[in-house]
Structure 1
Amino acid sequence: MKCVYWSVLIILLGSLLCEAQTWTAQSPLPTGKNLHHVTAINDTVACAVGTQGIILRTEDGGETWIYQQSGTTEDLWYVCFVDANTGWTAGNNGTIRHTDDGGTHWAAQQSPHHDVNYESIAFINNNLGWIVGSGGEIVHTDDRGNTWTLQMEWPYNGSWYGVCFVGLSGWVVGSLGIYHTTDGGGVWTRQDTYSGPPLYDVVFVNDSTGWAVGADNTIRHTTNGGRNWTTQFGVGNGRYYSVAFSDAQNGWIVGRDGVFLHTTNGGSNWNSESCGVARTLRGIAITDSRIWIVGQRGAIQFTSDRGTNWISQQKGTIQNLIGITATGPEEIWVVGESGTVMYSTNAGTTLQSRDLNISESLTCAAFINPDTGWIAGTGGCVWHAVNRDETWIQQNSGTTSDFDAVFFKNANEGYLVGQNGTILKTTDGGNSYVPMVSGTLSWLRGMDFADEFVGCIAGDNGTILRTTDGGDTYTLVGSGTRAWLRGIDFADELVGCIAGDNGTILRTTDGGASWQPVNSGVTGFLIDIEFASPQAGWAVGGSGSMVRTTDAGATWSSNHIANTCDLRDIQFLDEMHGWVIGDDWQVDRTIIFSTENGGETWTVQDSLATFYPKQIAFTDLHSGWAVGAGGMLLHYTDSLSTVPEDHPVFQPSEYSLQVFPNPFNPTTTISFSIPIAAHVSLHVFDITGRQIQTLADRRFDAGKFDVGFDGSALPSGVYFARIEAGSFAKTQKIVLLK
């Protein structure tokens, strides 16, 4: 019975299941990936490229940035357009892409070598161009890139990072110094005896005046076409990646950790300014009236007044997101570092931020309905939402300890657990919190209740605490281990399991009074554990570790699914449908696995170039979210679309039974699908097997149906919904918590 609470009904009648099933980024937008370069065609059209093949284009001055399909997952380092339609981009492993239609289609072009990382591009017209990169390689085309020929290859280690041409006169810079050509690259000669730190970019405003920038505050300047270069002095932390000039006097440099320099006198003086970003900046593009800067974690900064005012064109957040809770099919709350609080009422299409003016990181959230909830985090901070749009109240926890979990049974009774054995309880919705005696200084990581009164808390150093009076008092329970215990879940009122480091799984059959070790079959850390039914459960962890039980945790078998993927979170909506999210550290991607057969087989549902994932949350089979570092917010949809009332409801292809919300208080919706007409019996039973209520006992046509269940007159506890339709029968555990 995982500590995730929802209390709105899913209304899915009149919906049609379409083919598309996708995960899409919702924050930060347009991307959270590193951007390496930007080029501006005019005041409204610009293009940016970055890690893992990302290409973005705007045609409205940056109000909206559109993803373009590059056809590659290689890092792209440079993009160049000669007009609004004709452009090239290049990057790692010999990647060259070309477009003739403004990026609607990008086609691969053949490079001489595939083991070269290309860093910079220069074209002087639609046909003549050069690309430079590692190994001192310079390649040239005179036919739009249909063929590329090698002009230079360095016999020793070294790289070119920047190239610039004015007519057939060109310059390249890098770790090999500065080289120059006067015949389009037929002959390249060393132009400067400079042997200092590598140079990363070069720009000329005419055939005489140019600048080169690089590491260790290096700025080189020439006024005679490079025959002589002099040193200009910059400021900042020492690494300049890109330089751009609008004329011989006005120029800008960007670099590491938000370095942004500006000169109005041709570089005689460089002044440090701010463009509003402290992250590394990699690219700058200038038009007659606008400047764009791009950089780390998707930064896009824009000015239309030459830098007096800067506007971020990145929406959402780049803060690490730690917790997510879904309060309905389209209602989500997300919390994270530096006081980040965001919510959406339209499945994440738009995100609204709540500025609580706090610097603490928020680590956990619990909502009992879309408007009422609690968020908690480091430094003992607790905030309560009375109305998400208007009223947020800071509550006094009475402690400075960090919180790891928040758990509310209803609008009044709730718990906070975390650092130094902290347990706080409230019975008045958080107006006052009372510290409970835990008897430990260990960090407490997770909490779950078996019923209204009995619950357990798991934490570091093998700590297990148990309460039998609804959280008023706690006793230490022997675990027999010193492992960090991370996840806890009760399958019913008696059976529960805890997962932790070193492949630890502990099991109880007496409501947490005693715990026994169970062989998990793995030795790595386990992060999360979940039961989808009284018998079926899963635990996930490092190096693709997934273990499964079909006998209420008595035995576990390995379902190992990915050696290079650390699995972070698992969620099952019912016995058959589940999701796992993790990070593949070998290729630096977020991987999402799904199953439709109770974990017998797992398939990669998506592989996304995102940051370290933390948590996943699904409200039903059609909609889910995932959060992680760098402001990562992903949304899954299988494209449900509304059908007019006079249109027949879609005909399912299989039988199903789902309950949402679950746990619930006091109402929930039980949904079932039948692919053919049949007599349907739907009943609710208590833990002893006694029938409590009949919800359906008649013939139904093929389709999907929702039936409400009201537990107002029932005590808190575990119940079971069972459906029988023709030869199909299924039982689903439901939990009533008041």
Structure 2
Amino acid sequence: MRRWLVAALGMAALFATGCHRVEEPLPPLPERLISISDKFFDVAALDADTAIVVGYGGKILRTEDGGFTWARIPSGTDEALYRVRFVDSQRGWICGQDGVILHSEDGGRSWTRQNSGTNAYLFSLHFVDHEFGWAVGDKSLAVHTRDGGRTWTLHKITSAVAEAQSAEEALAEQDPILYDVFFRDRDHGWVSGEFGRLFQTTDGGTTWVARERSLLGPEIVDVLAIPTFFGLSFASANEGVAVGLEGKIARTVDGGRTWKLDAVDAASALTDPLFAPFLFPEGTGWVVGASGQVLRRSSAVEPWLPASLGMEVATWLRSVTWWNHDIGWIVGGYGLILTTRDGGHTWTPALA
């Protein structure tokens, strides 16, 4: 009896101790730098391993190991950041909502805000050296600097050559949004935008001429049917492309004086927008767009063909860039960052 009582008391003590044991708190989960709610709008490659990604909510990410690990860089803003451009491994600029322009002189490790002089959305910028740059955005507005962004001058881009327009055309094309800008040097530049606007300058932006009417022909019979163009890229002083709505790609081979619709694989039947092109100097290139669309051109004389990323992509792709013919980057919605190190044969998503 005594032995049974001792055992019972021991069991009771054991259960009592278990019921009153204080659980150790679990360590907090590390904050994810990349999540499905992220929207990334642009990426710049600084070298074979270093890249900067910008996006919604003022987010800036930087990698130094080809995308294996990432660091979040303070931007000082919650505004969306749309474009990032570097002229060398150290000096770069970012533009975005509310006239935001940020500048880095240490390879994107830190950023300071410059006074753009406007609160308009700035969708794109481009620098040809550490002093000369342009940014473009809403309501046909642009800002220009000749001192690396210490001062910016406000412009409104309109065509220096007046063209006869119907009242409907004039109303539709009033203050179009400008989506992209590209300069080959301090004199020669191009701007693309809403209502198919394709502007060209040969005097550093002092004057601009609208060139989109050269697209009129059997495929586009009405000025109002020219699609909005979201992105520009030039392979040389003469050859460039603009991409936009309805999967349209316009091409110039005379420095932007005239444009024609470029050949796209007929089986692709593109209807969704294309957002960003990238051309290599020899004319090969890549284009990305809505619904995970990716196109590739293997030579300057061949049509654009669909390219596989090796995975199902259920979001828009906003930017594509390449460090060289092997190392490239694509970014888009749902926190998507893809990189390749074999010329686009295989793509790897970034996880952080």
Is 1:55 matched up with 2:65? no
Partner of 1:298: 335
- State how far apart, in whole Å, the 2-side matches of 1:304 and 1:230 are: 33
- State how far apart, in whole Å, the 2-side matches of 1:291 and 1:8 are: 54
Partner of 2:49: 44
Partner of 2:176: 158
Structure that is richer in helix per residue: 2
Aligned with 2:231 (options 195, 198, 201)? 201
- State how far apart, in whole Å, the 1-side matches of 2:61 and 2:21 are: 38
Q: CA deviation at 1:249?
A: 3.2
Q: CA deviation at 1:252?
A: 0.5
- State how far apart, in whole Å, the 1-side matches of 2:247 and 2:263 are: 7
Is 1:91 matched up with 2:96? yes
Partner of 1:258: 292
Structure 1 contact 136–158 (Cα < 8 Å) conserved: yes
**TM-score where L is the length of structure 2:** 0.80
Partner of 2:260: 230
Structure 1 contact 302–311 (Cα < 8 Å) conserved: yes
Q: Give the SS at the match of 2:334.
A: helix
- State how far apart, in whole Å, the 2-side matches of 1:29 and 1:62 are: 12
- State how far apart, in whole Å, the 2-side matches of 1:212 and 1:8 are: 67
* Bigger-Rg structure (1/2): 1
Is 1:184 matched up with 2:207? no
- State how far apart, in whole Å, the 1-side matches of 2:340 and 2:139 are: 37
Aligned with 2:305 (options 243, 268, 271)? 271
Is 1:307 matched up with 2:344? yes
Matches within 5 A, 1:476-625: none
Q: Give the SS at the match of 1:248.
A: coil
Structure 1 contact 57–67 (Cα < 8 Å) conserved: yes
Is 1:216 matched up with 2:246? yes
Q: Give the SS at the match of 1:93.
A: helix
Letter in 2 for 1:43: A
RMSD: 2.3
- State how far apart, in whole Å, the 1-side matches of 2:115 and 2:22 are: 55
- State how far apart, in whole Å, the 2-side matches of 1:24 and 1:98 are: 29
Aligned with 1:122 (options 103, 126, 133)? 126
Letter in 2 for 1:272: P
- State how far apart, in whole Å, the 2-side matches of 1:62 and 1:23 are: 21
- State how far apart, in whole Å, the 2-side matches of 1:183 and 1:93 are: 28
- State how far apart, in whole Å, the 2-side matches of 1:157 and 1:190 are: 13
Aligned with 1:172 (options 191, 216, 220)? 191
Comparing both chains, which one has the higher relative contact order based on Cα–Cα distances under 8 Å and sequence gaps of 6 or more?
A: 2
Q: Number of matched residues?
A: 300
Q: Give the SS at the match of 1:44.
A: coil
Q: CA deviation at 1:182?
A: 1.0
Q: Give the SS at the match of 1:25.
A: coil
- State how far apart, in whole Å, the 1-side matches of 2:287 and 2:322 are: 12
Q: Which runs of 4+ in 1 moved over 4 A?
A: none
Is 1:10 matched up with 2:23? yes
Q: CA deviation at 1:248?
A: 2.8
Partner of 1:355: none
Partner of 2:83: 78
- State how far apart, in whole Å, the 2-side matches of 1:40 and 1:102 are: 11
Is 1:239 matched up with 2:273? yes
Structure 1 contact 181–189 (Cα < 8 Å) conserved: yes
Q: CA deviation at 1:267?
A: 6.0
- State how far apart, in whole Å, the 2-side matches of 1:95 and 1:314 are: 28
- State how far apart, in whole Å, the 1-side matches of 2:31 and 2:39 are: 15
Matches within 5 A, 1:250-399: 250-266=284-300, 268-275=302-309, 276=311, 277-288=313-324, 289-315=326-352
Q: Could you list the per-position Cα deviations for residues 690-733 of structure 1 after superposition, in whole angstroms to 9, with x for gaps in the alignment?
A: xxxxxxxxxxxxxxxxxxxxxxxxxxxxxxxxxxxxxxxxxxxx
Letter in 2 for 1:171: W
- State how far apart, in whole Å, the 1-side matches of 2:127 and 2:301 are: 26
Identity %: 33
- State how far apart, in whole Å, the 2-side matches of 1:79 and 1:113 are: 18
Q: Give the SS at the match of 2:200.
A: strand
- State how far apart, in whole Å, the 2-side matches of 1:182 and 1:314 are: 44
Q: CA deviation at 1:30?
A: 6.5
Q: Give the SS at the match of 1:202.
A: strand
Aligned with 1:65 (options 58, 66, 70)? 70
Letter in 2 for 1:180: Q
- State how far apart, in whole Å, the 2-side matches of 1:278 and 1:301 are: 14
Matches within 5 A, 1:722-733: none
Q: Could you list the per-position Cα deviations for residues 659-684 of structure 1 after superposition, in whole angstroms to 9, with x for gaps in the alignment?
A: xxxxxxxxxxxxxxxxxxxxxxxxxx
Aligned with 1:133 (options 126, 131, 137)? 137
Matches within 5 A, 1:383-422: none
Structure 2 contact 44–321 (Cα < 8 Å) conserved: yes
- State how far apart, in whole Å, the 2-side matches of 1:64 and 1:32 are: 19
Partner of 1:248: 282
- State how far apart, in whole Å, the 2-side matches of 1:102 and 1:112 are: 25
- State how far apart, in whole Å, the 1-side matches of 2:35 and 2:92 are: 21
Structure 1 contact 217–233 (Cα < 8 Å) conserved: no
Q: CA deviation at 1:63?
A: 1.1
- State how far apart, in whole Å, the 2-side matches of 1:58 and 1:32 are: 20
Q: Give the direction of change, closer, same or farther, for the CA distance of 1:31–1:41 in structure 2 (3 Å limit).
A: farther
Structure 2 contact 83–94 (Cα < 8 Å) conserved: yes
5+ residue gaps in structure 1?
1-6, 16-21, 316-738
Q: Could you list the per-position Cα deviations for residues 89-126 of structure 1 after superposition, in whole angstroms to 9, with x for gaps in the alignment?
A: 01111111111122232111111211x11111110000
Q: Give the SS at the match of 2:140.
A: coil
**Worse overlay, 154-163 or 280-289:** 154-163
Q: Could you list the per-position Cα deviations for residues 7-60 of structure 1 after superposition, in whole angstroms to 9, with x for gaps in the alignment?
A: 995337xx9xxxxxx99633x736741000111122111111000100111111
- State how far apart, in whole Å, the 2-side matches of 1:146 and 1:60 are: 32
Structure 1 contact 121–130 (Cα < 8 Å) conserved: yes
Q: Give the SS at the match of 1:216.
A: helix
Q: Give the direction of change, closer, same or farther, for the CA distance of 1:218–1:100 in structure 2 (3 Å limit).
A: same
Structure 2 contact 157–208 (Cα < 8 Å) conserved: no
Structure 1 contact 85–100 (Cα < 8 Å) conserved: yes
